[in-house]
């Protein structure tokens, strides 16, 4: 059992701060994030060259040290030693929230094991930022990050996730995105998808449509830069297939398929001869 009170009580060690950085536009850096980077004793950076640009822009003189997937096993003991001596460390990735696509998670686990406080700052996240403007149902959703690179492994992965009702978020390289989309089309069918490129930057763009439409669009207008794919969840479960579910479970299933809560409640109430207001109150636990 690990119990942490981040800002109360006497501290016997330093704090590991997980500090989000902009995903493209430096104006997205928060005041608190800058303040923490100025105040900590060390910045653990995924790529010191990228973080140096951030340090220069915000006039941050705090020393930094590389901390990435190839040296994390060597650096974590040193980081723990500094934290245990009372020093504070900020961990940053190249862009967005740390500890997702970098070794920050290993450092977090190591700190928790040693009862060292871990404090996360809110900030930019490419996946969620793209999702809420995608036009694809924002909830429920699943974030997967980068897909396997080999075709056979990617197809196997997608086949396993094909019937999930949740919207799915993937990162992808511009060099592999068409091949990935073709695999998605083959496994998922021609469902709705939003392709997002260069989020928050001057060339930011969204291409919304079916998977085949987005493939054609990219083939006609080649792309560069950071890419995300927001894929609609499976809608294979039709309203007629909900008869074995309870009233509330049927409402939840329709919402997972992309319906708005009130629309789902209205449909279930109508199909089952229920009083809509009573079902609404039951769903919202009023």
Contact 149, 122 (CB under 8 A): no
pLDDT digits (tens, 9 = 90+) for 68-121: 989 989 999 999 999 999 999 999 999 999 988 778 899 999 999 999 999 999
Return the SS3 of 24. Answer: coil
- How far is it, in rounded angstroms, from Cα 205 to Cα 148? 25
- How far is it, in rounded angstroms, from Cα 167 to Cα 193? 10
Which pLDDT does position 110 carry in this prediction?
Answer: 95
Which pLDDT does position 258 carry in this prediction?
Answer: 66
Give this prediction's pTM. 0.78
Q: What is the DSSP letter of 96?
A: B
Query: Which pLDDT band holds residue 237 (cuts at 50, 70, 90)?
Result: very low
Tokens 């449509």, located at residue: 209
Contact 167, 257 (CB under 8 A): no
Contact 252, 260 (CB under 8 A): no
Spacing of C-alpha 74 from chain mean position: 27
The kind and range of the H/E element at 21 are: none
pLDDT digits (tens, 9 = 90+) for 264-280: 888 888 888 888 888 88
The kind and range of the H/E element at 210 are: strand 205-210
């Amino acid at each position: 059992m690990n119990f942490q009170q981040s800002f109360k009580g006497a501290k016997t060690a330093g704090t590991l701060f997980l500090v989000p950085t902009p995903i493209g536009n430096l104006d997205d850096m928060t005041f608190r994030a800058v303040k923490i980077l100025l105040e900590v004793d060390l910045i653990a950076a995924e790529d010191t060259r990228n973080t140096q640009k951030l340090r220069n822009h915000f006039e941050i003189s705090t020393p930094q040290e590389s901390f990435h997937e190839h040296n994390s096993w060597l650096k974590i003991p040193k980081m723990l030693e500094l934290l245990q001596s009372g020093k504070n460390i900020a961990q940053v990735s190249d862009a967005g929230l740390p500890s997702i696509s970098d070794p920050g998670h290993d450092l977090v686990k190591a700190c928790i094991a040693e009862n060292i406080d871990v404090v996360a700052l809110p900030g930019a996240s490419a996946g969620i930022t793209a999702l809420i403007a995608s036009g694809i149902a924002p909830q429920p959703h699943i974030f997967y990050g980068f897909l396997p690179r080999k075709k056979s492994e990617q197809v196997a992965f997608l086949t396993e996730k094909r019937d999930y009702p949740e919207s799915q978020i993937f990162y992808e390289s511009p060099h592999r995105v068409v091949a990935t989309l073709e695999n998605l089309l083959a496994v998922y069918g021609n469902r709705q998808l939003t392709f997002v490129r260069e989020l928050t930057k001057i060339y930011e763009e969204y291409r919304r449509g079916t998977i085949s439409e987005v493939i054609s669009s990219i083939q006609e207008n080649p792309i560069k830069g950071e890419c995300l794919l927001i894929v609609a969840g499976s809608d294979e479960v039709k309203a007629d297939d909900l008869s074995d579910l309870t009233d509330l479970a049927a409402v939840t299933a329709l919402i997972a398929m992309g319906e708005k809560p009130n629309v789902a409640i209205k449909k279930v109430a109508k199909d089952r001869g229920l009083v809509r207001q009573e079902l609404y109150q039951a769903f919202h636990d009023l």
